[in-house]
Amino acid sequence: MSRFREDRMWEGLGLQVFLMCLGAVLCSAVAASAPLEHSHRHRLSLHRHRERTGKEGQVLHRSKRGWVWNQFFVIEEYTGPDPVLVGRLHSDVDAGDGNCKYILSGEGAGTIFVIDDKTGNIHATKTLDREEQAQYTLTAQAVDRATNKPLEPPSEFIVKVQDINDNPPEFLHGPYYARVPEMSNVGTSVMQVTATDADDPTYGNSARLVYSILQGQPYFSVEPQTGIIRTALPNMDREARQEYDVVIQAKDMGGHMGGLSGTTEVKITLTDVNDNPPKFPQSVYAMSVSEDKVSGEEVGRLKAKDPDLGENGLVSYRFIEGDGMTVFEITTDTDTREGVIKLRKPVDFETKRAYTLRVEASNTHLDPRFIAWGPYKDTATVKVMVEDADEPPAFMATSYSFEVEENAPDGTVVGRVHAKDTDVANNPVRYMIPRYTDVEQFFSVGPEDGIIKTTRPLDRETLPWHNISVSATEIGGHHQDTKVRVNIKVKDVNDNAPEFATQNEILVCENVSPGKLIETVSAVDKDEMVHRQYFHFSIAPEAVNNQNFSLKDNRDSTASIYVTRRGFSRMTQDVYFLPIEINDNGIPPMSSTNTLTIRVCSCDSKDTILSCNVEPYILPAGLSTGALIAILACIVILLAIVVLFVALRRQKKEPLIVFEEEDIRENIITYDDEGGGEEDTEAFDIATLQNPDGANGFLPRKDIKPDEREREKYKTH
């Protein structure tokens, strides 16, 4: 590829050099011919001027003046040693005496383009690139050299840069990535690539591009004018090859020799379609399963290969025939796309030792374009061998249900369970009742025969059902055991006497009328109520002759109590006891005597009970929280008043008490006479002894304390 590009590059450079030389020769020829043309026109202009002059020096009519030049072109990328002559400006007012001065202004004037102010020749001093700027707008003006006054109005002209093929085509968005379905028809569009050329598309063939494919044949092709890539081979298979690297070339000059070119890479990927059916690698699969496996356990796997991708390669499995279709099931593992065979129900080695199944694998998603290539399915045979396992004994039933009458003596046979060893050895079996299923040990089982018996009488009213388990263990094997559920129902025996349903007292008004219904009583029995069983009520024999109440059996297990006399008095008797005998019709029949309590109450005229001796009027046992708080508040207030009163009394009497204490402590009267009992008391005035100053007519003030002199005075006295 690099050698090819290098050859093309040198070929393009040679063509450019040839064109540049040709352009230089043409420019020289134009420049050489321009003065002749200009001088001819100049001379023509002067001749016309003389014809319109009558006498020498007398101007009859002023001739029209104007610019004269050729069309200006400059070939781009010229690299000659001398500046390129663009062209020559000349005005017909220029007499050739050097008084006319040419001035050039505008784009690139003075830098790119320079002018000879005397001759008007314009040269390009730099190499021009059309792709940078295609043309330049300049302004030419002729002025008087001495005064710089314009001889002609300024005029604009354009210098065009003539294009040469100096830019190769470029793919601006490469490399490209494209996808096309596999098995596409020839000519299926893959994508379009587009190259750009910076040369002038309006001049020659420099920008006329032609596309070709350099790499990727014979699988793909490209349209020369549009760059559209298409498939070129039928039945391209993704499973055989998925990716292709295609190289596209764009060449200018219409693809002719000497043109420049550019290339780009296109990575084309074939996308998948469902064009391959699933296929089993082998026709027969052998599997095995132990007979001790439970339902839902996996037996084996098989896989049908499908090289397609995604949903095109999804496979579903199913059984289409075989003797194990009800024993096994097959599902699809979505991660591995395998068919997983599982047990639907346990197998038994002793019953059947092998199964044969036919499995079909098929695609779940079909492509309508390729249905004729089908069928998109495959089949295989699966043989499953059943392996023998040391199994525990098996009971003949999944569970047992027995019945036994309550109160039956211990040792009564309840029923029998039976298990056997299903293995070929057919070892004997031993039975036992696990302790945790019969904690109180109501039952026992024969270790060899499996007969269940009671160990004590049973009471239905205490426990109507006993749910126990019996374990069977194989003797001589691996001591494996199995358990079975045994449900024992205790049958009812009529061993409980009936009694009142409620024990409430009956309240009767003192002024009750004879024949009034005062209560309807009913009974209950702990025994089961069988069909057509009811209770019969009657007054006990010891109370048949009472004159107060009567009973009527309603024949529906209830009885009505009526009053038979008028006028009851609480003062005479406030409570009456009526014994009633209740009988059931069970086998054997049971009866009991229950006492009905009837209390007499005072009522108003509307038979509304006012009071009974049953609940005497009692003050409420407790007080509310608000009442307790109010009582406590009153007590606190009373205590505060008492304390305040005592404090005021003490404050009022304190000076007197202090004075009296001081009198008692300090004013002591002494004498030497011996005491004579009552005589001494009569001989002396006690008041005088307590207050000697009072006897002398001096009474001290009690509201002030005596000072020290007064105290001494009292002492001397």
Q: What is the pLDDT confidence band of residue 654, given thresholds at 50, 70 and 90? A: low
Structure tokens belonging to residue 536: 């019969």
- Please name the residue that has the structure tokens 């014809």: 51
Encoded tokens for 253:
């000059």
Burial of 327 (C-beta count, 10 Å sphere; 0-12/13-18/19+)? buried
pLDDT bracket for residue 624 (50, 70, 90) = low
Q: 394-491: same fold as 284-387? A: yes
Across 119-133, 393-407, 665-679, the highest mean pLDDT is recorded for 393-407
pLDDT band at 489 (very low <50, low <70, confident <90, very high): very high
pLDDT of residue 403: 94
- Specify the pLDDT at position 606: 84
Among the ranges given (65-74, 327-336, 506-515, 526-535), the one the predictor scored with the smallest mean pLDDT: 65-74
CA angle 339, 345, 351 (to 5 degrees): 115
Residue 131's pLDDT band, with cuts at 50, 70 and 90, is confident
Q: Report which residue type is found at 633.
A: A
Report how far Cα 507 is from the mean position of its chain's Cα atoms: 69
Mean pLDDT of 540-545: 90
Q: For residue 436, what are its two tokens?
A: 């945790």
Helix/strand/coil percentages in the chain, nearest 5: 20, 35, 45
CATH topology (fold) of 499-611: Immunoglobulin-like (2.60.40)
**Where does the pLDDT of residue 615 fall: very low under 50, low under 70, confident under 90, or very high at 90 and above?**
very low
- Tell me which residue of 221, 225, 220 sits closest to 210, measured CA to CA: 225
Query: pLDDT tens digit string along 413-427?
Result: 999 999 988 776 677
- Residue matched to tokens 């190289």: 247
Closest CA to 122 of 68, 91, 86: 86
Per-residue pLDDT of 289-302, as tens digits, reads: 998 899 999 999 99
Decide which of 20 and 56 is more confident: 20
Q: What are phi and psi of 150, to 5 degrees?
A: -65, 135
Mean pLDDT over residues 375-383, rounded? 94
Specify the residue for token string 């690099």.
2
pTM: 0.45
515: helix, strand or coil: coil
Question: By mean pLDDT, which of 54-58, 229-233, 360-364, 523-527 is the weakest?
Answer: 54-58
What average pLDDT score do residues 560-570 get?
89
* 3 state DSSP class of 34: helix
Give, rounded to a whole angstrom, the gap between the first and last alpha carbons of the chain: 159
CA distances from 38 to 24, 112, 139, 144, 155 (A): 21, 25, 19, 20, 17
Beta-bridged to residue 73, according to DSSP, are 160
- For residues 680 and 686, what is the distance between their CA atoms, to the nearest angstrom? 10
Confidence of residue 689 (pLDDT cuts 50, 70, 90): very low
Answer for the pair 45, 63: CB distance below 8 angstroms, yes or no. Answer: yes
186 within 8 A of 231, measured Cβ to Cβ:
yes
Topology at the third CATH level for domain 170-271: Immunoglobulin-like (2.60.40)
What confidence score (pLDDT) does residue 495 get? 82
Nearest C-alpha neighbor of 82 from the set 160, 34, 24: 24
Angle at 640 between CA 639 and CA 644, to 5 degrees: 120
pLDDT class of 410 with cuts at 50, 70, 90:
very high
SS (H, E, C) 510-548: CCCCCCCEEEEEEEECCCCCCCCCCEEEEECHHHCCCCC
Give the Cα separation of 376 and 358 in Å (integer): 17
Q: What is the mean pLDDT of the chain?
A: 79
Indicate if the pLDDT at residue 65 is higher than 50.
no
CA atoms within 13 A on the CB side of 120: 28
Pairing of strands 228-231, 189-192: antiparallel
The answer, yes or no, to whether residue 37 has pLDDT greater than 80, is: no
CATH of region 71-162? 2.60.40.60
CA distance 216 to 229: 10
Decide if 596 contacts 521 (C-beta within 8 A): yes
Region label for 306, one of left (φ > 0), alpha (ψ between -120 and 50) or beta (otherwise): beta
Q: Residue 262 — very low, low, confident or very high, per pLDDT cuts 50/70/90?
A: very high
Q: Answer with the residue of higher pLDDT: 399 or 206.
A: 399
Range picked from 125-139, 193-207, 328-342, 532-546 for highest mean pLDDT: 328-342
Query: Taking 90 as the threshold, does the pLDDT of residue 19 lie above it?
Result: no
The full set of domain ranges for the chain reads 71-162, 170-271, 284-387, 394-491, 499-611
Beta strand pairing status for 465-474 and 549-553?
Answer: unpaired
For domain 284-387, the question of CATH label 2.40.50.420 is answered with no
User: Superfamily assignment of 394-491 in CATH?
Assistant: Cadherins (2.60.40.60)
Cβ proximity of 291 and 346 under 8 Å: yes
